[in-house]
Structures are given as C-alpha cells and as structure tokens.
Amino acid sequence: MPLYEHVFIARQDVSGAQVDQMVEAFTGVVESGGGKVVGTESWGLRNLAYRIKKNRKGHYVMMNLDAPSDVVVELERQQRIHDDILRYLTLRVDEHEEGPSIMMRGRKERGSRRDDDGDEKPAAAASEAPATEKPAEEAPAADTPAAKSAGSKEEAE
C-alpha cells in the first residue's frame, strides 16, 4: 500500500482532549477502509502564518498513513466537512521518516539562525567552517579558442 504523511490544523479554541478525539475518529476512518495509522505526532498549538477563518493559532497534528488512495480521499472528505478543521495536507512519500519529525526535534538539531554575536546567518552557513584558502586561477587550456588566439599573438611579436 502507498505511504502518506497527513497533517491537519484544528481550531485554536478546541481543547487538547478534543484534538485527541479527532485523531481517534480519523484513525477509525483510515482503519475502517483497510489502512493503518503507522504513527501520530501532535505538534501542539502553534502560530499560523496568516489568519484562517478568524484564527491566529491552530493545533497541528501529523499522521503517518499506510492506506489505499480511496481511504485518503475519504479522510480528506471527512476533514473538509468538519467544522473544527482549518486546513489539511496529504503527501505521498516513499518511506516514513524514522524517529521524530523535523518539527519535534530540538532547535539545536535543526540548526540555529544566529551566531554567537547575534548576527543573522543561514542555518547551512552557520554549521559550515569558513574557507581559508582561495582557489588559484587556472591557466586557459591550450585547445580553447582564447588560448589559441593568445598564442598566435605571442608568436607574431
């Protein structure tokens, strides 16, 4: 069966217990269709990038699914008509990630955005060591047109 990562965002004013009940209900939808939920992660109440239906925050939940595509379509249909679900996204993946997702890892593992002085740096540049040597300029190859014209000028002089 195909593997999926499914993330949904619930409204900010529902409780954590209600979010758990939603996860159980959606797990039941998947299992009744012949699929299974491999893992579930609750990312907690997080800020949204922009307002969605007058909400500034939302409860994020990720579910790893091993289910046929018609089960995923039914799951999305159920979430589309549910009043407490703001958004959902399902991605087909080749394999599920081992261990916690990137959202659950600590800030140190993800890479910091600031160096010791407080200056902004990209995460990739902060972890790499600076290069101390500059590469030497290479001489043009003898068979290139620029090298041939340079060689003919030297012969003419």
> 99-127, pLDDT tens digit by residue?
788 788 776 565 656 555 556 555 555 45
Residue 131 pLDDT greater than 80, yes or no: no
What is the rounded distance in angstroms from the CA atom of residue 155 to the CA atom of residue 2?
A: 69
In the block, which residue shows the tokens 């939603």? 22
Residue 133 has pLDDT above 60, yes or no: no
Check if the beta carbon of residue 142 is closer than 8 Å to that of residue 157. no
Which 8-state DSSP code applies to residue 112?
A: -
Give the 3-state secondary structure of residue 149: helix
In CATH terms, the fold of domain 3-95 is Alpha-Beta Plaits (3.30.70)
What's the whole-model pTM score?
A: 0.66
User: Among 38, 49, 44, which residue's Cα sits nearest to residue 12?
Assistant: 44
Hey, how many other C-beta atoms are within 10 angstroms of the C-beta on 52?
Answer: 15
Does the structure show a pLDDT above 90 at 91?
yes
Which DSSP letter does residue 98 get?
S
Percent over 90 (pLDDT), the chain: 57
Is the pLDDT at 155 greater than 60, yes or no?
Answer: no
The pLDDT-based confidence of 152 (bands split at 50, 70, 90) is low
- Going from N- to C-terminal start, the domains of the chain cover 3-95
Positions of E strands within the chain: 3-11, 36-52, 55-66, 85-93
